[in-house]
Chain A
Amino acid sequence: MIPVTSVKTLPEAYALLQARPPGLRVLAGGTDLMVAINARVGLDRIGHVLDIWNVRELRGIALQDNFLRIGALTTYTEIIHSTLVNTQLPALAAVSREVGAWAIQNRGTLGGNVCNASPAGDTLPLLLAADARFLLGGPRGERTVVAEEFFLAYRKTALGADELLLRVDFPLPDAARLAYRKVGTRRAQSISKTLIAVRATPGLREVRIAAGCVAPIPLRCRRAEQAAMSGGDVRAALQLDISPINDIRSTIEYRRLVSANVLLQLLKNMGTPYSLPGRP
């Protein structure tokens, strides 16, 4: 039987993190970890579970110092219904609505999506394109890591073994100019084949581009950004950024072509005011 420590406050959580029990896994909404446990995948590598679901201080959405601050345990449902998110960062509300369906949105958290660090994590390209910052905390104190420096390799992040993700901060007002398109296997309960997010100023003077499912990590696409800002060949540049694979969901060929098609359309529409795409 795997021991579980359920905590209600950060100091309680930090106390366990400081002890560093072997094989510690953090449990938030359970939409990823419980799937693995049910399937008995990597069960022997889980030595201890830290359940943080009831840590209230990790929830909530606030506007502060020109940042939209979203607690790590904020669920997709909370994001979808937040007036702040819908006005300041509508793309995040829209993409949250495309994660799973209601029951998943009620349990899945922004922090869980970040820490699970799947290349197919639906919010992650948006965080990269929006230049989000992650506040990490642990018994040794707190630190901030920018999204781009967080994802190191396939499912490997900058999060220390004794750290938790506390909060995600989005710089405003640029976040409002974020747009994305998810291409999945169906219209709900769907894992993406590719997901492209773009933040750009009118006239494409400043462009940030990120992509999901086309590399081992959620990827910032710097060559494509350069091409977009300099009037170069975005399509060709993106191909140098990404390295998709064939898998159960799609093919290299499809991911390359569709990622480029979608990116070009997003850039083309960037001059026009962003509107919630809603369900595709």
Chain B
Amino acid sequence: MRLELRINGSVRSLEVEPLKRLLDVLREDLILTGTKEGCGEGECGACAVLLDGQLVNSCLVAVCQAAGASVVTIEGLSSSALTPLQRSFVECGGAQCGICTPGMIVAGQCFLDSGAAATDEAVREAIAGNLCRCTGYTKIVESIQHAARETR
């Protein structure tokens, strides 16, 4: 099927199979490889993107359901300079191997955008769908809290 997606602000027209995963469309058709695959079943959150502003696992979204929608990936969060959240991840040690990091930052940005108070519990709940095996989460929580302090 032919469909249009607004990817990171620009409209792209694509010819794709309707049940193709949004994840594969991003990685294969649009060469946006910042979005990662960790499990293919919505468990790990490595493939998290924003779909019409909402956090989703792109491995569970059939691309036909994203037709006409706006998609923001890790590549769309920053242009030349790092965002405050990305800077926090670098400075606070929020990224180790880095494979969960794009999804984690998309989820963290979604939390920051929600305007909720960045308590330990609230941040942990916001990233509970993003598995990280390296950091033990402490420095990720700190990174998000640090960015929250910087941006508010």
Indicate whether A and B interact. yes
Which residues of A come within 8 Å of B, CB atoms? 1-2, 4, 6, 27, 29-31, 34-35, 37-39, 49, 51, 53-54, 77, 100-104, 106-107, 187-189, 279
Q: A30-B60, A31-B60, A104-B42 are in contact. List 19 more A-B contacts (CB 8 A).
A: A4-B18, A6-B65, A27-B65, A29-B60, A30-B65, A35-B40, A38-B60, A39-B40, A77-B54, A100-B42, A101-B128, A102-B107, A102-B125, A102-B128, A104-B57, A187-B128, A188-B125, A188-B129, A279-B121
Interface residues of B in 1-25 (CB under 8 A from A): 1, 17-19, 21
Report the minimum CB–CB distance from B6 to chain A (whole Å): 16
Of A4, A54, A101, A279, the contact of B129 (CB 8 Å cutoff): A101
Most buried by A among B41, B56, B126, B128: B128
Smallest CB gap from A52: residue in B? B65
Bound Cα distance from A195 to B40, whole angstroms? 26
Bound Cα distance from A100 to B44, whole angstroms? 11
Any chain A CB within 8 A of the CB of B110? yes
Smallest CB gap from A100: residue in B? B129
Of B54, B59, B65, B67, the contact of A106 (CB 8 Å cutoff): B54
Report the minimum CB–CB distance from A10 to chain B (whole Å): 18
Contact status B129-A102, CB under 8 Å:
yes
Bound Cα distance from A38 to B54, whole angstroms? 22
Contact status B41-A189, CB under 8 Å:
no
B contact residues around A107 at 8 Å (CB): 56-57, 60-61
Contact status A103-B62, CB under 8 Å:
no
Bound Cα distance from A1 to B18, whole angstroms? 9
Contact status B59-A38, CB under 8 Å:
yes
Contact status A188-B18, CB under 8 Å:
no
Number of interface residues of B (CB under 8 A): 32
B contact residues around A187 at 8 Å (CB): 128
Any chain A CB within 8 A of the CB of B48? yes
Report the minimum CB–CB distance from B127 to chain A (whole Å): 8
Contact status B129-A189, CB under 8 Å:
yes
Report the minimum CB–CB distance from B57 to chain A (whole Å): 5
Which residues of B come within 8 Å of A, CB atoms? 1, 17-19, 21, 40-43, 45, 48, 54-57, 59-62, 64-65, 67, 107, 110, 121, 125-131
Report the minimum CB–CB distance from A76 to chain B (whole Å): 12
22 contacts between A and B (CB under 8 A): A1-B17, A4-B64, A30-B60, A34-B21, A34-B59, A34-B60, A34-B61, A35-B60, A39-B40, A49-B62, A100-B42, A102-B107, A102-B125, A102-B129, A103-B42, A103-B48, A103-B129, A104-B129, A107-B60, A107-B61, A189-B128, A279-B121
Report the minimum CB–CB distance from A108 to chain B (whole Å): 9
Contact status A37-B19, CB under 8 Å:
yes
B contact residues around A34 at 8 Å (CB): 21, 42, 59-62
Smallest CB gap from A106: residue in B? B54
Contact status A189-B61, CB under 8 Å:
no
Report the minimum CB–CB distance from A16 to chain B (whole Å): 14
B contact residues around A27 at 8 Å (CB): 62, 65
Contact status A30-B61, CB under 8 Å:
yes
A contact residues around B54 at 8 Å (CB): 77, 106
Known contacts A102-B107, A103-B55, A106-B54, A51 near B62 by CB under 8 Å: yes
Bound Cα distance from A37 to B60, whole angstroms? 9
Bound Cα distance from A29 to B127, whole angstroms? 20
B contact residues around A104 at 8 Å (CB): 42, 57, 129
Report the minimum CB–CB distance from A18 to chain B (whole Å): 21
B contact residues around A101 at 8 Å (CB): 45, 125, 127-130
A contact residues around B57 at 8 Å (CB): 103-104, 107
